[in-house]
Amino acid sequence: MKWKWLGLWWYHFVLLRITIEGQTRYSIPEEVKRGSVVGNLAKDLGLGLSDILDRKLRVASEAGEQYFSVDPGKGELVVNDRIDREALCGQSASCILSLQVVTENPLQLHRIEVEVKDINDNSPVFMKEERHLKIAESTAAGIRFPLDTAQDQDFGSNSVKSYTLSKSECFSLKMKELSGDRHVPELVLEKPLDREKQSVHQLLLTALDGGSPVKTGTTNIIVTVLDNNDNVPVFKRTLYNISVPENSAVGSVLVQVEATDEDEGVNAEIEYRFADSTPQSLLSIFKMNSDTGEIILLDALDYESSSKIEISITAKDKGFPEMEGHCRVQIVVIDVNDNVPEIMLTSKPSPVREDAPKGTVVALISARDLDSGNNGNVALKLAHRSPFSLKASFSNNYALITADVLDREQTAEYNVEITATDSGSPPLSSKKTIHVSITDVNDNPPVFTQSFYNVYVKENGVPGSILYSVSASDLDSGENAKISYSILDSKVQDVSVSSYVYINSDNGSIYSMHSFDYEKLKVFQIQVQAKDQGSPSLSSNATVHVFILDQNDNTPAVIYPSSAALGSLSHQRMPRSAKAGHLVTKVTAVDADSGHNAWISYRLAEATDASLFTVNQYTGEVRTKRAVYEQDDSSQRLLIEIKDDGQPVQSATATVSILLEDGLHEPILDLRHKMSEPSKKTGRITLYLILSLASVSVLSLVTFLILAVKCIRGNRSSGSCCMRRSDCDDYKNPNRNLQIQLNTDGPIKYVEVLGGDMMSQSQSFRSCMSPMSEYSDFTLIKPSSTTDFKEVISVLDASLPDSTWTFESQQVSIEPPTQNVRAQQENWQNHPLFDSVSGLGVRAVSGDFPHPGGEMHQGEQKQRELLHEKERL
């Protein structure tokens, strides 16, 4: 028997696997063991063994229960749980389990069917173990009494096929054929009964199925012989067919059966009831009115549970013995649209990359409606303005796919609302929301808060101090939004920028590597790069301009008197005949700082006689405050303090030693005084002329006119000039005592012009070193007065190209010239130093230098002669 069953199993398994309309179908018998192989699913779908794991091959049952699974090693479809065909499909002609096979990367859906074949695993069963019949002894032969049918959960050939009755002289068994190829056993009375001979007859009814081996079920039939009650109740119809909507109201009367009895009195009174074989499930839905024969609805009908119901009705009279008649009621349940469509997820939605192309499958969806006909036809639709769409596949199965470009930075997740609507009247609908996450793609570079940054840093800062913190953001997420900062390599004064600053790669903080010196470096720029951690990584740059702010860290440097050339003291000679305001000397200093830090002021700190001398606060000119007295000491010593305008104040001192001597001539006054003098003298000459016209002769008038002409010529030649070298003939006479010294020690470069006898009267020279000069790079102006310090600054600042005019680091030494001044100028201009003379960076250098060797300018000599002659007149 066991081998026979196994042979049948393999027959179904091997031979009945077919493919219908592109759908793979397998057939297996019910009740197979767990782990039994249904078929090689991977092979039948054209998948390799590597695809099983890579594409996450899996199965899902539309029925909900997972009866099958996939062996990941072999790709075989195996039984996962006990399969009972009767529990799954009942008495349906076919029992098919629909499976959905899902593969990912890309997401695809395959439909397969597994047909569950019935095996004879159930025996026929009667509702009751005993059936009692009461038959009057006067009952005529040939009368039939319907018997209970046996139920077999198996289907087809394995269901009930025949009945047998134990041997009896009075009774036989006949089969009554009903509609739908159904048969009902009936007990036939073969001859009249004799109560006196045998009052009770016991029979055994056996039901046999068509399986192999045959299984049976039995019930006992007990017939009690009664005294005469002549007539049996007879129904008007042996079969009542009614159609009832499934939404019929509870308590409504579905049908009324009616039977009559030809007897009279108590023997004609009929009582209606359901047959003893009626299952309890029907008794909970229907109720029989025993007096009227009305069948009343106790509970709601459900077309989806049972579309057709058959009930056996018995009518009994109240005579003795009781006589009963039989009929059947067949109820057809009419479907109404009472089930809402249901949306089910065949596969959970997987996260979608934001760069996914249109048509990418996001999720697999199925819909079902338990109603039938149009009531069960379901249509799905999405809400408007959704970047997704539904693509129908087969049998109410859909794929949710992308229909538009996705951008995670705009919308990181979607709640896709799907509406299912049936075709009933009125239509019913349901909604389901599917959550779809969008995964990030590195499609956004980091963005700085500014395209460039201006950073102001004080010089002399502490190395390692933070200069600034740049910040960038990235619209992406995760690793794609993690930013690291770096400084792109560049040069600052021919040195890599990394030797000046470094940056924290995590937070963008920029730190100094060492302190900065404004006098050496005023501004530089850094290229900062922000790069994300995506693949491939994206980056962006920002420029950081670092401006070094000047601090007052340089003391004023004394240019004249020069301690390098003349020692620590400056010895000056002054005649005792000098009047108040006499220019003794001029102290000149510069400051390497800038702005207010470079504004210099002079103050007389100590003096042998403070009442005799004064120092101009802005120009550094040392002048007499009064005339020299006889009792004044012939040796005067001045200590001049030079301070800048910075915070804190930086200062330096210069010591000037002055010798008061007799016999020295009055020095020529400064330029402005001298230029105003001719107008004063002219006024006096006019007065003399008026007096002379009145008192002297024509000869005196002619003489005066000659002198006036000479005076005018003297004024023209005595004016200070900055002229072209070719136009100045007064420099032809060489000054052999003139010395020119270029000082390049430290950051300040300047030129000293020294010459003449120290005992000679001091003269004033000014260095004109404008980088914008068109004709001359160096011009001597003599004699020169001391102009206001602010005027000098404004003039020289206006001539500079910009405020960042820096010192040249180049150092050049020049031999002192031995030719005349013009030759000296030509030699200097041919020297490489004057190719970059604008780089000397001296903002204002003015001072009094000794007269060169006592040789006098020709125009100056004429001017002196004219003045003496005017005084004589």
- For the cut 80, the answer to whether the pLDDT of residue 668 exceeds it is no
Domain 342-439: CATH architecture, name and number where available:
Sandwich (2.60)
| Beta carbons within 8 Å of 726's beta carbon, 6+ residues apart | none
- For the cut 60, the answer to whether the pLDDT of residue 216 exceeds it is yes
744: left (phi over 0), alpha (psi -120 to 50) or beta: alpha
Q: Identify the residue with better confidence: 663 or 216.
A: 216
Q: Identify the residue with better confidence: 163 or 93.
A: 163
Spatial CA neighbour of 760 closest among 681, 664, 621, 670: 664
- For the cut 50, the answer to whether the pLDDT of residue 841 exceeds it is no
Q: Is 718 helix (H, G, I), strand (E, B) or coil?
A: helix
- Confidence bin at 64 (pLDDT 50/70/90): low
- Residue 225 DSSP label: E
- For the cut 90, the answer to whether the pLDDT of residue 702 exceeds it is no
User: Where do the structural domains in the chain lie, given as residue ranges?
Assistant: 25-117, 130-226, 234-334, 342-439, 447-549, 557-661
Q: Within its chain, how far is the Cα of 843 from the centroid?
A: 54
Domain 130-226: CATH architecture, name and number where available:
Sandwich (2.60)
Spatial CA neighbour of 312 closest among 276, 260, 259: 276
Q: Which residues pair with 542 in a beta bridge?
A: 528
Tokens of 324: 């009963």
Find which of 151-155, 191-195, 269-273 is predicted with most confidence, using mean pLDDT.
269-273
Spatial CA neighbour of 622 closest among 635, 645, 641, 596: 641
> What is the pLDDT at residue 383?
82
φ, ψ (nearest 5 deg) of residue 393: -115, -75
Residue 672 Cα distances to 295, 770, 784, 852, angstroms: 140, 22, 8, 22
- Residue 324's Cβ-side half-sphere holds a number of Cα atoms within 13 Å equal to 22
> What is the pLDDT at residue 860?
45
- For the cut 90, the answer to whether the pLDDT of residue 642 exceeds it is yes
Q: Identify the residue with better confidence: 328 or 820.
A: 328
> What is the pLDDT at residue 455?
94
b/e code 519-544 from CB counts within 10 Å (16+ = b): bebbebebebbbbbbbeeebebebeb
Question: Is the C-alpha dihedral spanning 779, 783, 789, 791 positive or negative?
Answer: negative
Decide if 38 contacts 58 (C-beta within 8 A). no
Mean pLDDT of the chain: 77
Q: Within its chain, how far is the Cα of 298 from the centroid?
A: 64
φ, ψ (nearest 5 deg) of residue 679: -70, -35
Taking residues 660-679, report their average pLDDT: 55
Tokens of 558: 């004394």
Query: Which residue type does 474 have?
Result: D
Query: Which residue type does 297 have?
Result: L
- Confidence bin at 669 (pLDDT 50/70/90): very low
List pLDDT tens digits, range 705-747: 888 888 787 665 544 333 433 344 443 444 444 444 444 443 3
List pLDDT tens digits, range 107-143: 777 888 888 888 888 889 998 888 888 887 778 888 8
CATH of region 234-334: 2.60.40.60
Spatial CA neighbour of 80 closest among 95, 94, 99: 99
Spatial CA neighbour of 636 closest among 590, 719, 571: 571
- For the cut 90, the answer to whether the pLDDT of residue 366 exceeds it is no
- Percent of the chain's residues with pLDDT above 90: 33
Tokens of 473: 């953001």
φ, ψ (nearest 5 deg) of residue 730: -75, -5
Tokens of 368: 């079902």
- Rounded distance, CA 114 to CA 491, Å? 76
Q: Comparing 50-64, 427-441, 710-724, which segment has the lowest mean pLDDT?
A: 710-724
> What is the pLDDT at residue 680?
52
How many residues in total does the chain contain?
873
Taking residues 476-490, report their average pLDDT: 93
Q: Identify the residue with better confidence: 104 or 429.
A: 429
Q: Within its chain, how far is the Cα of 550 from the centroid?
A: 41
- Percent of the chain's residues with pLDDT above 70: 73
b/e code 252-279 from CB counts within 10 Å (16+ = b): eebbebebebebeeebeebbbebbebbe
Q: Within its chain, how far is the Cα of 753 from the centroid?
A: 69
CATH topology of domain 557-661: Immunoglobulin-like (2.60.40)
Tokens of 232: 């049996």
Q: How many CB atoms lie within 10 A of CB 589?
A: 23
Taking residues 862-868, report their average pLDDT: 50
| Beta carbons within 8 Å of 343's beta carbon, 6+ residues apart | 365, 366, 367, 380, 418, 420, 430, 431, 432
| Beta carbons within 8 Å of 110's beta carbon, 6+ residues apart | 24, 45, 100, 101, 102, 103
- Rounded distance, CA 91 to CA 861, Å? 146
- Residue 843 DSSP label: S
Q: Comparing 20-24, 479-483, 844-848, which segment has the lowest mean pLDDT?
A: 844-848
CATH topology of domain 447-549: Immunoglobulin-like (2.60.40)
Q: Comparing 24-33, 414-423, 468-477, which segment has the lowest mean pLDDT?
A: 24-33
Strand bridging mode 397-402 / 361-368: antiparallel
Tokens of 241: 């067919």
Domains 130-226 and 234-334 share a fold: yes
Tokens of 94: 């076919």
Spatial CA neighbour of 282 closest among 249, 310, 248: 310
> What is the pLDDT at residue 306?
85
- Rounded distance, CA 28 to CA 790, Å? 112
- Confidence bin at 227 (pLDDT 50/70/90): low
Taking residues 73-90, report their average pLDDT: 84
- Residue 668 DSSP label: P
Query: Which residue type does 579 have?
Result: K
Helix H or strand E segment including 352: strand 352-353
- Rounded distance, CA 379 to CA 389, Å? 13
- Rounded distance, CA 158 to CA 152, Å? 8
Q: Comparing 53-57, 186-190, 248-252, 375-379, which segment has the lowest mean pLDDT?
A: 53-57
Taking residues 493-502, report their average pLDDT: 91
Decide if 519 contacts 807 (C-beta within 8 A). yes
Tokens of 707: 């002198």
CA dihedral in degrees (617, 620, 626, 628; nearest 10)? 150
Decide if 693 contacts 701 (C-beta within 8 A). yes
> What is the pLDDT at residue 570?
63
Spatial CA neighbour of 714 closest among 861, 504, 552, 522: 861
- Confidence bin at 474 (pLDDT 50/70/90): very high
Decide if 743 contacts 751 (C-beta within 8 A). yes
Taking residues 788-797, report their average pLDDT: 39
Q: Identify the residue with better confidence: 98 or 559.
A: 559
Q: Which residues pair with 754 in a beta bridge?
A: 739
Question: Is the C-alpha dihedral spanning 553, 556, 559, 562 positive or negative?
Answer: negative
- Rounded distance, CA 178 to CA 869, Å? 169
Strand bridging mode 200-209 / 600-607: unpaired
Q: Comparing 354-368, 486-500, 779-793, which segment has the lowest mean pLDDT?
A: 779-793
List pLDDT tens digits, range 164-208: 999 998 999 998 887 767 788 999 999 888 877 888 999 999 999
Q: Where are the beta strands (DSSP E) in 196-266?
A: 200-209, 216-226, 234-235, 239-245, 253-256, 259-260
Taking residues 59-73, report their average pLDDT: 78
Spatial CA neighbour of 574 closest among 640, 625, 636: 636
- Rounded distance, CA 570 to CA 589, Å? 14
CATH topology of domain 25-117: Immunoglobulin-like (2.60.40)
List pLDDT tens digits, range 279-337: 888 999 999 999 999 999 999 998 888 888 999 999 998 877 778 889 999 999 998 88
> What is the pLDDT at residue 607?
92
Burial class (CB in 10 A: 0-12, 13-18, 19+), 814: middle
- Rounded distance, CA 383 to CA 137, Å? 78
| Beta carbons within 8 Å of 449's beta carbon, 6+ residues apart | 470, 471, 472, 473
| Beta carbons within 8 Å of 204's beta carbon, 6+ residues apart | 165, 166, 218, 219, 220, 221
φ, ψ (nearest 5 deg) of residue 253: -90, 120
Give the end-to-end CA distance of the chain in Å, rounded to a whole number: 169
